[in-house]
Amino acid sequence: MERVVAITVTYNRTKTLERCLLSLLSQSRKPDTIIIVDNNSSIAEKERLKMFAGNLDNVHIFWLKENLGGAGGFEYGMNECRKLFNPDWYWLMDDDAYPRKDCLEKLLESADGLFNIGYLAPLIYGIDLNEYQWYHHKLIRGRTYQNLPLTIQYEKLADISHIDANAFVGPLISAKAVERVGVADGSMFIYGDDTEYTFRITRQLEGYLVKKAIIDHQDPPIVNNSRDRKSWWKDYYCWRNQYYMVREFQNNILVKNLAYLELTLNLIAVLAAALIKPKYRGAHLLRSYLVIRSIVDGLLNRRGKALDPVKYRQYIEKNQRRYL
C-alpha cells in the first residue's frame, strides 16, 4: 500500500491544530504518519500540544527554535519527511484545515487513470463564511504571474480539473514531484510560498483539483472590511514575494524587466493611496514604509524573515495611540 504522510505547520494555534489532528486521525483512509512542525510557539501552546499529541504513535512533532514562517516550516517538514519516511505522497495542510472523513480516500481514488501527477488537491470550503474558497484553486496568468480562481461556480466545476497552483490546504504532493522539483521554498517565509511551489510543480507535471474530495478551512478574519494594522506585515510579504515569482519563472529578460516595472508601478499606486486615503490616518508613514520596503527588497531579492512579525506587532502595541 502507498505510504501517505500528512504535514502541518503550527504557530500558537493549538486549538485549531487539535481539530486538524482529529480530522486526520478520523480519515476513512488514515495517513500512515503525521508530522507537526511547531514554529517556536509559546511555552503554554507547546505544553498543550505535548499533552494532546505527544504520546500518539503515528504523530511526530518537530520543535523549531525560531519561527521560520509557514514556508520555512513546510520546507523543514518535507525535508524531514523525505529523510525519515520517503513516502509516496506528502499531504500538506495549514493547522486550521480539517479534511472531511473521506477526503484522503477520494484523493487517492482519483489518481487511477490520471497521468504525470504532481499533486491532487481537494476542494476547499470556508466554514466561517459558508462558501467555497475559490481563490485557493489558481490559474496563473500574465507576466507578473497573477492568481485567478479556476472558477467561482460549483456547478461548472468538472469532477477533475487542471489547475496551475493551489494553497497549502490539503494538496497531496506526489513523490515524483518532490524528486523532480524539490520541496517548498522556506526563503519566502510566508505568503505566496504555496503558489510558488505548486506552480513550480505544474511546470513539469500536472496539478489536479478533485471535486469529490473536500477539506474545510477557516476563513481569514475581516476587521472593519480592512486588515488590522497589526497585520500589515503580511502585506509586505505578499508584495515582496511577487517579485520572486517573476525572478524564478520568467526567463525572457525583456519580459522580466517589464514585469518588475509593472509590479513597481502598481505598488507606487498603493503607496500614493497610503499617503492620502483617510482610512490610513495616523499610519500614513508606516504604510508607506512597508510599501517602499517591499519594492526595494523585492528588486534586490532579499529573502527570509526580513520583517519580523513579532517585533512589528510589538512596535504597533508600543505606539498604539498612533496606530490602533
Over range 224-236, report the average pLDDT.
80
Residue 227 confidence (pLDDT): 60
pLDDT reading at 287 higher than 70? yes
pLDDT digits (tens, 9 = 90+) for 92-132: 999 999 999 999 999 999 999 899 999 999 999 999 999 99
pLDDT digits (tens, 9 = 90+) for 181-225: 999 999 999 999 999 999 999 999 999 999 999 999 999 876 554
pLDDT reading at 161 higher than 80? yes
pLDDT digits (tens, 9 = 90+) for 31-88: 999 999 999 999 999 999 999 987 888 999 999 999 999 999 999 999 999 999 999 9
Residue 281 confidence (pLDDT): 86
Q: Which of the four pLDDT bands, split at 50, 70 and 90, describes residue 1?
A: confident
Q: Domain boundaries in the chain?
A: 4-217, 229-323
Q: What nine digits make up the cell of 288?
A: 508607506
Write down the mean pLDDT value for the chain: 95
Residue 57 confidence (pLDDT): 86
Q: Which CATH architecture has domain 4-217?
A: Alpha-Beta Complex (3.90)
Range name among 1-5, 129-133, 272-276, 319-323 with the lowest pLDDT average: 319-323
Chain-centre distance for alpha carbon 8? 11
pTM of the model: 0.95
